[in-house]
């Protein structure tokens, strides 16, 4: 008898093991693990908002979800983000729409010089625009947040006080910001933000057009002694999730994430606006950066040069069958609504 039991033991053990392997869901009752890719370094605002989202989601789902974050392009780089998420190389990814301007034509309209006054307003306007028009560019992913930078300003090694100072200057900017630089007579050099510190160091560019928090987060204040307050076009961002991974989530987890879309977008806008103020104070105090204001007459000249950018976008968007005039009207109405 004993012998017989002993002989079936290995069989039982094997059966049990096979059952465990065949039913990983039942065996591993641990959290759903999600990978979240981001392209810039950890201290920058896209990654700060990523960590905030991770913490909130993990708490609000009572540990049903564990988010592994990958800042600094360690999982997906700036331009590979959207396709990488669609292909499932990362479950979630954060992308800057300006790095692929032809791909996100509709939502990139928020990057036109239309007077978005701050990142909070920009983020809410962008999210509304996305929700209303549901652009095909986001059709293969689940959008978890959309937000914008604060308006952009010139940071440079040499002072820029007039359009003449800007003429032919090699400055870094992507998408809408690159068009703005071109319209002012500078020489726009396109590259994602993480490539910019080296380009500045090597002198490939003499400055950049971006939101000012990068003076602190990328320590550009060490190399750029001047900032010219142009307060122009923002950069739009999106956080997207692989559709199959989204569909496979339990309903209560989906609800937590769904409920966070507007909140996270607005939180990021507010964080950005506050952080820009910190970065300005820090740059003045720590590196004695001079912040140059344009007088009204000079600013009017700069603004006048930007009108053709919007006209060009309207023509291109109409060619693609987009309701360009309505889109611009919605952006302007959204700016008025959220600026109150």
- In the complex, the smallest distance separating the C-beta of residue 221 from ligand DTR, rounded to whole angstroms, is 14
Work out which of 49, 61, 100, 211 binds ligand DTR, going by CB under 6 A. 211
Nearest to 246 by CA among 110, 141, 145: 141
Q: How far is the CB of 95 from ligand DTR (least distance, A)?
A: 10
Residues in 25-54 at the binding interface with ligand DTR, rule: CB under 6 A: 40, 44-46
210: contact with ligand DTR by CB under 6 A: yes
Interaction of residue 104 with ligand DTR, rule CB under 6 A = no
CB of 150 to ligand DTR, least distance (A): 8
Rounded Cα distance, 142 and 153, in Å:
32
Alpha-carbon Rg for the chain, nearest whole angstrom, is: 24
Q: Pick between residue 61 and residue 210 the one whose CB is nearest to ligand DTR.
A: 210
276 touches ligand DTR by CB under 6 A: no
Nearer to ligand DTR, 46 or 188 (CB): 46
Q: Helix/strand/coil (H, E, C) string of 144-171? A: EEEEECCCEEEEECCCCCCHHHHCCCEE
According to DSSP, the β-strands at 65-70 and 236-242 are unpaired
Nearer to ligand DTR, 96 or 249 (CB): 96
Query: C-beta of 16: minimal distance to ligand DTR in Å?
Result: 50
Can you spell out the DSSP letters for 154-216? EEESS---SHHHHTT-EEE--THHHHHHHHTT-EEE---GGGHHHHHHHTS-SEEEE-TTHHH
The mark string for 170-199 relative to ligand DTR (x by CB under 6 A, - otherwise) is ----x------------------x------
Interface with ligand DTR includes 220 (CB under 6 A)? no
If binding is defined by CB under 6 A, does position 96 make contact with ligand DTR? yes
Quote the distance between the C-alpha of residue 196 and its chain's center.
Answer: 16
Exposed, middle or buried by CB within 10 Å (0-12, 13-18, 19+), for 281?
A: exposed
DSSP reduced 3-state for 78: coil
A 10 A CB-CB count for 65 gives 20
For the chain, the straight-line distance linking the first and the last C-alpha, in angstroms and rounded, comes to 85
Element (DSSP H or E) covering residue 242? strand 236-242
Q: Which is nearer to ligand DTR, 111 or 334 (CB)?
A: 111
Give min distance, CB of 33 to ligand DTR, in A: 26
Q: Which is nearer to ligand DTR, 61 or 174 (CB)?
A: 174
Whichever of 173 and 334 has its CB closer to ligand DTR, that residue is 173
Give the shortest CB-104-to-ligand DTR separation in angstroms.
14
Contact string 139-168 vs ligand DTR (x = CB under 6 A) = ----------x-------------------
- 65 vs 272, which CB is nearer to ligand DTR? 272
- CA–CA separation, 135 and 334 (whole Å): 18
Specify which residues 147 forms β-bridges with.
237
Give the rounded distance of the alpha carbon of 244 from its chain centre: 22
Q: Does 214 bind ligand DTR (CB under 6 A)?
A: yes
Q: Which is nearer to ligand DTR, 61 or 152 (CB)?
A: 152
Q: Which is nearer to ligand DTR, 214 or 253 (CB)?
A: 214
Residues that bind ligand DTR (CB under 6 A): 40, 44-46, 96, 149, 174, 193, 210-211, 214, 235
């Amino acid at each position: 008898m004993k012998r017989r039991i002993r002989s079936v033991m290995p069989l039982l053990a094997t059966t049990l093991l096979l059952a465990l392997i065949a039913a990983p869901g039942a065996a591993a009752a641990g959290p759903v693990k999600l990978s979240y890719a981001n392209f810039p370094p950890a201290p920058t605002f896209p990654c700060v908002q990523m960590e905030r989202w991770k913490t909130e989601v993990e708490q609000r789902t009572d540990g049903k979800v564990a988010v592994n974050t990958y800042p600094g392009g360690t999982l997906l780089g700036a331009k590979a983000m959207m396709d990488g998420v669609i292909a499932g190389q990362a479950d979630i990814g954060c992308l800057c729409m300006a790095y692929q301007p032809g791909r996100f034509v509709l939502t990139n309209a928020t990057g036109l010089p239309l007077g978005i006054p701050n990142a909070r307003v920009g983020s809410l306007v962008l999210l509304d625009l996305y929700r209303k028009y549901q652009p095909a560019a986001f059709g293969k992913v689940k959008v978890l947040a959309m937000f914008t930078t604060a308006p952009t300003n010139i940071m440079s090694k040499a002072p820029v006080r007039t359009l003449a100072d800007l003429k032919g200057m090699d400055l870094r900017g992507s998408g809408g910001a690159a068009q703005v630089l071109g319209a002012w007579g500078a020489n726009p050099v396109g590259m994602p933000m993480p490539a910019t510190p080296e380009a500045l160091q090597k002198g490939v560019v003499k400055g950049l057009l971006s939101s000012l928090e990068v003076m602190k987060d990328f320590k550009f204040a060490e190399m750029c002694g001047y900032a010219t307050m142009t307060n122009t076009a923002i950069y739009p961002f999106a956080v997207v999730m692989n559709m199959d991974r989204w569909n496979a989530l339990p309903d209560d987890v989906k609800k937590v994430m769904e409920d966070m879309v507007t909140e996270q977008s607005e939180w990021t806008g507010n964080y950005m606006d506050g952080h820009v103020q910190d970065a300005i104070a820090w740059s003045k105090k720590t590196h004695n950066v001079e912040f140059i204001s344009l007088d009204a007459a000079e600013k009017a000249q700069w603004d006048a040069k930007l009108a053709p950018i919007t006209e060009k976008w309207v023509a291109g968007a109409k060619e693609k069958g987009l309701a360009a005039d309505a889109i611009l009207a919605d952006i302007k109405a959204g700016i008025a609504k959220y600026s109150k």
